[in-house]
Chains A and B, each alone.
Chain A
């Protein structure tokens, strides 16, 4: 970059690195992380990210409660997790340092904004002495940089206020890290132009801060080596970086288009699901209608109305909102209308930990409604996987005339990874049939079933098919209200049988690893990456261990019962107190062992490896 650079710096090639930006929630760390992720993805690395931010929009400045972080793992090989520990930590203030330092590897790179380490900042973080000066950081490669002063200097001639100048600090930090990992600034410069083009002085300030940070790395003696992570050998194709919520939104739009339907979303804003609403509301040119409902109940019931009218109906929420939708979901089950209920899980119970991840809503998905109220459940395993799962969920809903629960979680929703962009014509099309007008005046039977036990989806506007549906128990075939005891038994059994029959329509469960062995790791949802990586690592240690990751949670794939019996031990790691394990033990009478964690954080690979190793001891 800079022609004045006189210092020759060495570049070391490394297979992968993990970097975490952390600072106050007003410091723009999420943006720094996102930019670094995109840049790494565009450079051809495989990436996995873990944004971690507080629930409060603005906790008091400089406090530990207000610390926001973004972790990126980028590699020249395929990776599945954002990394257990970080190789480089950027901390913008003492609170960020004290809350994140434990995750930095010994000898790791530590970049601090020294200006923030004043008396007040230190006190807020609980430091008695300044760690930059007291020698406590000796075990790391410490780079203490007065980013505030250097950023102000870089933008000085633009005559911005102090506040606005300081707001560019994250770009300074980015520049420095870009230099450290030999990254191009181009994508971020483009981003700045897109985002701030209308405010040229702000755009210029951010550009200058970014470049100043980069040049600082290059020209000063402070940092003497750069690192380079070569492109990963991913499957050939066109890629983009994508978060779970983005992939879900795109998948839903695709599902609508592939099935010749118009998409209706009824939703009430809630963390961490709102981005799906935001994304979908931009896609009106696909015939998408989004309805920001007055509450969660209106969100689900409006979707039922739209489903009755023939739309691809969806409602999105997170655990607390799903609780409110309970009665509405029951109506959807009773009326046997196809729709998707999407739960982007977060820490519970109650309001719980809105911005933290957990997978403790599986039982809610299975049983969280009154009466015998079964519903297929399908779960995403990673950000890019959300795309396929969205399409598959809608396929099941429409084929079986049933609401389907789709489970994601905060970790998947906000995390990002490269997505191999599919060819549109390679995607499966779905044909959805609606009965046409009755011509001979024959009575229409809304609850007459086909071989899959699904009922006809007759749409208002069709002459001769006028019918009424509702929450009261239906008479078999006619759909008239019925209080007959035998009929009720029959209908309850039939609804259950219909959902169970979904198992005949989904692929057999695949297992990664030996066909038989000491341990089977059985997982679902967002723990996929950690479990897959842990199993690979344990195998490298010589352990006989296989991995089965479930996409279909209700009903289970039809070969699952046989699979779990082929291994001496079944380990079920979950970010809850043991929910899948309860279903598996109940269903297959297998003495599975749980590994459970509810800290609002994903598993580390090491946690799972050590549990596997413990089981084979």
Chain B
């Protein structure tokens, strides 16, 4: 309890600072920045790692243990170009789209919250949003999420194709794919923080 309480002091101060001493329009800037750069891509990525990574691993895992992957190879198809590449490409393209949608919803709800709970006026929120807004921020966020998409799909493919025989093997691969996908997102996020900022 104490630790929870003590740990909350900085954030409470932080909020106090932003809602009190500093001009209110910083709220808009804060909402915009964090959502575009961090929360949007990372939270969306994690949610999709659960859905997309798991479904890829389950699908390819089932194909592996029922010998459909072997069958594909005996028909002269290459498993990398036929199974992995299209899935990684699709996720690389789709993650940013979903993330962009999440970003707009996030900023919108930030705005609703600000005007209702913080008594902020819409022009002030917008002013803040624009103040520290760089067009680049959105692009950084979207590029990050594209890399998350590639990583999540790749982990799903690799774990799926690695599945051991039996339904339990597929389940295990699916779980591993999700865990690895989330880990990859955190690592990539740190990487982008170093490279882009």
Chain B associates with chain A: no
Tell me the A residues contacting B by CB distance below 8 Å. Answer: none
Tell me the B residues contacting A by CB distance below 8 Å. Answer: none
